[in-house]
Amino acid sequence: MNSATWIEDPAFTRDRPFGPQTLPYGVVDDGSGPRVAVRVGDHALPLASVAGALGELADLVTGTSLDPLLAASRAEWSALRARLTELVTSADRPAGAELVPLAGVRALLPFTVADYVDFYSSRHHAENVGRIMRPDSDPLLPNWTHLPVGYHGRAGTVVVSGTDVVRPHGQRRGDPLPKFGPSGRLDIEAEVGFVCGGPVTARVPTSDVAEHVFGVVLVNDWSARDIQGWEYQPLGPFLGKSFATSVSAWVTPLEALAGARVPVPDPGHPRLPYLVEDQPWGLDLRLEVTWNGTVVTRPRFAHMAYSCAQQLAHLTVNGATVRPGDLFASGTVSGPERERLGCFLELSWGGREPIALADGVTRTFLEDGDTVVITATAPGADGSVVGLAEVAGTVLPADE
Ligand SMILES: O=C(O)/C=C/C(=O)CC(=O)CC(=O)O
Ligand SMILES: [Ca+2]
Ligand SMILES: [Mg+2]
């Protein structure tokens, strides 16, 4: 407990996900317009209200989005976090500090999403999807164990947690002609997203990841499996995944996850030098996926085969630059056991095995009105728990 702090919120303790060890950044609107804030328990602390205590760093966080903060440097991110930690753990309320209950604010998409990339770094997910979608081929292609496979997605349809998702229309396989209409196989993908910042740079070595990854969000990569299954060869996912990608409203600083770092699993063969890490950048994040109130799976990010450092090194190794606001997602987080699978395509094994929700209700894919919430925690320093804020969304019926 930190009973000495001026912040009176029972959720603002080190054993709760949004205690002083986490301090994620977001943008809230309580009716007076968007303001950058840090989350303290179940309250938001708008940073404009403590600008006087932030000195020159105030300029980074007194606007209406996180964009100026993302464009700053790792040294500034660290200095701001240290200063905010002092402010929220002090006994006296800083002059002017406002605390707004989260229940009374709208949390907005906190930064301008620049480029969006989605990787495919769970071996379990890749093998399962291969078995389900391509039963007559090897589940993994030979490149998979040598590079983090990914594709460029659609930045403009990244939406904040709480945004409803309209069931997409599209083409799907038909005999003899393709059919068109609302997707009948709407799915989720539980993923972790990395929010980039710092100087615009190409060829980011794995050792520089913390200069370019500001923080972490949870991602739901909504996926229409029937649209995807018909369109995706040979160029990869396209309209089956570009209609909506949901992200948490709060960005947990990478620095808050220092206690969660773990090595990625050994690939069992040599790595090309640009993918070798001098320090481990895997993360022990424990996800939980709730479908209409029932927890249906608990994926573990520590099972992922590539780290954010390897993904960013790969993404930029050809000379492509990373810039503030770029978002890259890990790929669906699936583990070896059924209770750790990261999408309903796998959990229902291609729609063949119903998934039990509460009260005898079963599902294979999403129905209109269904709500999915993904949350996660990670081990913090000294036995504390660090939170990644939820990403939630409800499916609305397809447009007429
Ligand atoms: O194997 C395939 O054909 C496609 C699989 C996916 O749906 C991949 C995707 O979006 C990446 C991921 O989330 O792991
Ligand atoms: Ca995905
Ligand atoms: Mg998407």
Answer whether residue 1 is part of any domain.
no
Last residue of a domain, one of 76, 108, 140: 108
125 is catalytic: yes
Indicate whether 98 and 166 sit together in one domain. no
In the chain, the percentage of residues whose pLDDT exceeds 70 is 99
Percent of residues, the chain, with pLDDT higher than 90: 98
Average pLDDT, the chain: 97
Q: Which domain holds residue 281?
A: 116-396
User: Tens digits of per-residue pLDDT, 145-181?
Assistant: 999 999 999 999 999 999 999 999 999 999 999 999 9
Verify that 208 and 83 share a domain, yes or no.
Answer: no
- Does any ligand 1 atom lie closer than 6 A to the CB of residue 237? yes
Query: Whose atoms come closest to the Cα of 139: which ligand?
Result: 1
Which atom from ligand 1 is nearest to the alpha carbon of 232?
3
pLDDT at position 187, please?
Answer: 98
Co-location of 311 and 294 in the same domain: yes
Catalytic residue among 43, 125, 303, 314: 125
Whole-number pLDDT of residue 3: 59
Give me the CATH number covering residue 29: 2.30.30.230
123 pocket-lining for ligand 1 (C-beta < 6 Å) = no
2 pLDDT above the threshold of 80: no
Give the C-alpha separation, 43 to 40, whole Å: 5
Centroid of ligand 3 to alpha carbon of 112 (angstroms): 16
Atom of ligand 1 at shortest range from CA of 225 = 7
Tokens, residue 128: 């399962």
Residue 47 has pLDDT above 70, yes or no: yes
Does residue 173 share a domain with residue 83?
no
Residues 206 and 86 placed together within one structural domain of the fold? no
**Ligand 1 center to 126 CA (angstroms):** 7
Distance 374 CA to ligand 1 centre (A): 18
Cβ proximity of 66 and 27 under 8 Å:
yes
Per residue, the 3-state secondary structure of the chain, as one string, reads CCCCCCCCCCCCCCCCCCCCCCCCEEEEECCCCEEEEEEECCEEEEHHHHHHHCHHHHHHCCCCCCHHHHCCCHHHHHHHHHHHHHHHHCCCCCCCCCCEEHHHCEEECCCCCCCEEEECCCHHHHHHHHHHHCCCCCCCCCCCCCCCCEEECCHHHEEECCCCEECCEEEECCCCCCEEEECCCEECCEEEEEEECCCCEECCCHHHHHHHEEEEEEEECCEEHHHHHHHCCCCCCCCCCCCCEEECCCEEEHHHHHHHEECCCCCCCCCCHHHCCCCCCEECCEEEEEECCEEEECCEHHHCCCCHHHHHHHHHCCCCEECCCCEEECCCCCCCCHHHCCCHHHHCCCCCCCEECHHHCEECCCCCCCEEEEEEEEECHHHCEEEEEEEEEEEECCCC
Pick from 122, 150, 147, 130: nearest CA to 302 = 122
Q: What is the pLDDT of residues 100-148, one digit of tens each?
A: 999 999 999 999 999 999 999 999 999 999 999 999 999 999 999 999 9
Q: Is the CB of 331 under 6 A from ligand 1?
A: yes
Distance 71 CA to ligand 3 centre (A): 24
HSE on the CB side for 94, CA within 13 Å? 21
Give, using CA atoms, the residue closest to atom 4 of ligand 1: 129
Which ligand 1 atom is nearest residue 240's CA? Answer: 7
**Residue-wise pLDDT tens digits, 277-325:** 999 999 999 999 999 999 999 999 999 999 999 999 999 999 999 999 9
Q: Give the distance (Å) from ligand 1 centre to CA of residue 185.
A: 15
Same domain for 212 and 257, yes or no, is: yes
Instruction: Let me know whether 97 and 178 are in one domain.
Output: no
Q: Which residues surround ligand 3, an ion (CB under 5 A)?
A: 221, 241, 245
| 87 and 122 both lie in a single domain | no
- Residue 6 inside a domain? The answer is no
Whether residue 92 is found in the same domain as residue 138: no
Whether residues 334 and 392 fall in one domain = yes
Domain boundary among 108, 143, 175: 108
Q: Tell whether the model's pLDDT for residue 391 goes beyond 60.
A: yes
pLDDT tens readout for residues 49-63: 999 999 999 999 999
Residue 283 corresponds to which tokens in the numbers above? 């993360």
The Cα 85–Cα 69 span in angstroms is 17
Measured between alpha carbons, how far is 326 from 52 in angstroms, rounded to an integer?
A: 30
Closest by CA position to 309, among listed 197, 152, 204, 190: 204
Q: How much is the average pLDDT of 193-202?
A: 98
Boundary residue ending a domain (73, 108, 143): 108
Residue 9 lies in a domain: no
Q: How many domains does the chain fold into?
A: 2
Mean pLDDT on 244-260: 98
Q: Counting ligands in written order, which one lies closest to the CA of residue 151?
A: 1
For residue 4, the model assigns a pLDDT of: 83
